[in-house]
Structure 1
């Protein structure tokens, strides 16, 4: 049934229907509404057979998640920003121990200065922690991705983050169609842990590894990530067949005429400009490109759903032999450029594409349609360099001369 729901409520209800055995909760904006809703469902019995654990910190939330997952329970938690960084040590441990925990990250900027608004610097700071990272473009996808995340994480034996833009999605109400509990029961296999603490068969998980074996354990994690692309694609296809709508996948191509998601769309022609985004900026890009498309100025739009594993092959196929690739980046590698751009550059190494990193929306600054159209048109005119900060207020900060850096504007 289609209904209007806040993004956090849609996620909470979907997670509950995935039947977690343990939910570990510590509030931090903008994910708090998710764990609050789950607490109400646990109290009323709508979330049955689940232990809802209030903990004293984000570090404790992940530590309890590790214990419950190792004991054989389907486990869920949520966090954001400084909270994610506070649990960093345990986040790495969960991955190294091969525990399929699912965690919502309501993306929010990292201080200092303190900022509670949205960008993607929190999850991307932990991009190499060993967790799958799936990014939602809208609230429908945010809800659906959790079903896929549990399936993929549990098949692979590795944890998964579902990332949704804080406030922009978590606190926005939209029309969504939630999967019913019986539909999820039919889609999501019962949780059968690949490794479990068993008093009848004592074992240890995540123990000490010396130089003689540490490299091999990391190599095995690496191989598991290589397997993950096929597993994500397979479960995304199963979801589409079961529920009749798109969710997940590795990348999404958008038809150049309709700007609707179309996996059958042809790759970009050699003369085209392509724009790549991740998360809710996809909706803004659709709105920004619509008048340009109507005027016959075709620009290819590509959405990244899976950042870890990064879909290098799928991205190359989606872009074709594109001349200019404009990456709208919501997180900055200081002194280098955009985080997403660096991964796109590695995927396109050896191609003819010129890659432009556009840093936009840091700390919740609005990404304006007019500004996006302007940077696209200037790219076509050859007036955009390797790195640009969208709508940078040069009068408000001391900006070095362009010759001293590669900042164009």
Structure 2
């Protein structure tokens, strides 16, 4: 049934229907509504057979999730921003131990200066921690991706983050269609842990590894990630077959005619420019690019749904024929450029595509349709640099002299 729900409520209901055995909760904006809703469901019995654990910090939340998962329980938590960084040591440990914990990251800028609004700097700080990272473009995807995350994580033995833009999605109400508990029961296999701590059969997980074996443990993690793209794609295909809608996958192609998501949309071989983005800005781009397409401007749109593993082959196939690739980035690699742009550049190495990194929306600054349209027109006119900051206020900011850098506007 379709209903209007806040994004956090849609995620909480879907997570509950995935039947976690342990939910670990520590509040930090903008994910608090998710764990609050789960606490109500745990108290009323709607979330049955689940231990809801209030902890004193984000580090404790991930530590409890590690213990629960290692003991054989499906485990879930949520966090954001500094909370994710506070649990960083445990985030790495969960991946190194091969524990399929699922965590919602309500993306929020990392300070200083202190900022509670949305960008992707928190998840990007953990991009090499060994977790799957799936990004939602809207609240429907945010809910559905959790079902896929549990399925893929448990098949692979890799923990998964579902990233949804803080406030922009978590606190926004939209029309969603949630999978019912019966539908999820039919789709999501019962949790069968690949390793369990058992006092009757003692074993050690996450033990010390010296120089003689540490490289090999990392190599084994690497091999699992090589399989991860196919596993995510397969579960996304099954989800589409079971529920009749797209959710997740590796990339999202948008029809050049309607700019609606279309699994059958052809690659960009016939267009001059393709815009690549991740998260809720994809929706802004749909609105911004539609009038350009109506004018005959040769521009297309591709969304990245899976940042880890990064879908190099799928993206190269989708973008390889595009003369210009404009990447809208919500996180900055200081001294280099957009974080997403770096991965796109690696995927397109050896092609003739010219890549433009447009850093936008840092700290929650609105990303305006008019500014995006201007960037597209300037790229097609050859007037857009390799790295630009959308709507940068230069008054009082020491911008390099012309020729000293390609960082402009």
Match of 2:20 in 1: 20
Match of 1:74 in 2: 74
- Does structure 1 conserve the Cα–Cα contact (< 8 Å) formed by 2:320 and 2:348? no
Match of 1:145 in 2: 145
Give me the whole-angstrom Cα distance separating, in 1, the residues matched to 2:309 and 2:271.
29
Stretches of structure 1 lacking an aligned partner (at least 5 in a row):
none
Give me the whole-angstrom Cα distance separating, in 2, the residues matched to 1:314 and 1:206.
34
- Does structure 1 conserve the Cα–Cα contact (< 8 Å) formed by 2:320 and 2:353? no
The 4+ residue runs of structure 1 with deviation greater than 3 A are none
- Does structure 2 conserve the Cα–Cα contact (< 8 Å) formed by 1:267 and 1:318? yes
- Does structure 2 conserve the Cα–Cα contact (< 8 Å) formed by 1:270 and 1:320? no
- Does structure 2 conserve the Cα–Cα contact (< 8 Å) formed by 1:269 and 1:320? yes
The 3-state SS of whatever aligns with 1:313 is: helix
Give me the whole-angstrom Cα distance separating, in 2, the residues matched to 1:272 and 1:262.
20
The 3-state SS of whatever aligns with 1:163 is: strand
Give me the whole-angstrom Cα distance separating, in 1, the residues matched to 2:172 and 2:134.
19
Match of 1:274 in 2: 274
Residue 194, structure 1, aligned to residue 200, structure 2:
no
Match of 2:60 in 1: 60
**TM-score of the two chains, using structure 2 as the length reference:** 0.99
Match of 2:399 in 1: 399
Give me the whole-angstrom Cα distance separating, in 1, the residues matched to 2:405 and 2:331.
19
Match of 2:265 in 1: 265
Give the aligned length: 409
Match of 1:103 in 2: 103
Shift of 1:321: 1.3
Give me the whole-angstrom Cα distance separating, in 2, the residues matched to 1:244 and 1:262.
13
Match of 1:332 in 2: 332
Give me the whole-angstrom Cα distance separating, in 2, the residues matched to 1:122 and 1:151.
24
Give me the whole-angstrom Cα distance separating, in 2, the residues matched to 1:141 and 1:342.
25
Give me the whole-angstrom Cα distance separating, in 1, the residues matched to 2:271 and 2:242.
38
Match of 1:238 in 2: 238
Give me the whole-angstrom Cα distance separating, in 1, the residues matched to 2:259 and 2:270.
19
**TM-score of the two chains, using structure 1 as the length reference:** 0.99
Give me the whole-angstrom Cα distance separating, in 1, the residues matched to 2:353 and 2:255.
20
Give me the whole-angstrom Cα distance separating, in 2, the residues matched to 1:60 and 1:377.
49
Match of 2:11 in 1: 11
Give me the whole-angstrom Cα distance separating, in 1, the residues matched to 2:268 and 2:75.
41
The 3-state SS of whatever aligns with 1:4 is: strand
Stretches of structure 2 lacking an aligned partner (at least 5 in a row):
none
Cα RMSD, aligned residues only? 0.7
Match of 1:295 in 2: 295
- Does structure 2 conserve the Cα–Cα contact (< 8 Å) formed by 1:140 and 1:177? yes
Give me the whole-angstrom Cα distance separating, in 1, the residues matched to 2:402 and 2:345.
23
Shift of 1:310: 0.1
Give me the whole-angstrom Cα distance separating, in 2, the residues matched to 1:294 and 1:323.
20
The 3-state SS of whatever aligns with 2:85 is: helix
Shift of 1:406: 2.0
Structure 1 residues 106-125: aligned runs within 5 Å: 106-125=106-125
- Does structure 1 conserve the Cα–Cα contact (< 8 Å) formed by 2:65 and 2:77? yes
Structure 1 residues 132-211: aligned runs within 5 Å: 132-211=132-211
How far does the alpha carbon of each residue in 1:292-317 deviate from its partner, in whole angstroms, 9 at most, with x for none? 11111131100000000000000011
Give me the whole-angstrom Cα distance separating, in 2, the residues matched to 1:336 and 1:367.
21
- Does structure 1 conserve the Cα–Cα contact (< 8 Å) formed by 2:70 and 2:197? yes
Give me the whole-angstrom Cα distance separating, in 2, the residues matched to 1:377 and 1:343.
24
The 3-state SS of whatever aligns with 1:303 is: strand
Give me the whole-angstrom Cα distance separating, in 2, the residues matched to 1:325 and 1:31.
33
Shift of 1:270: 5.0
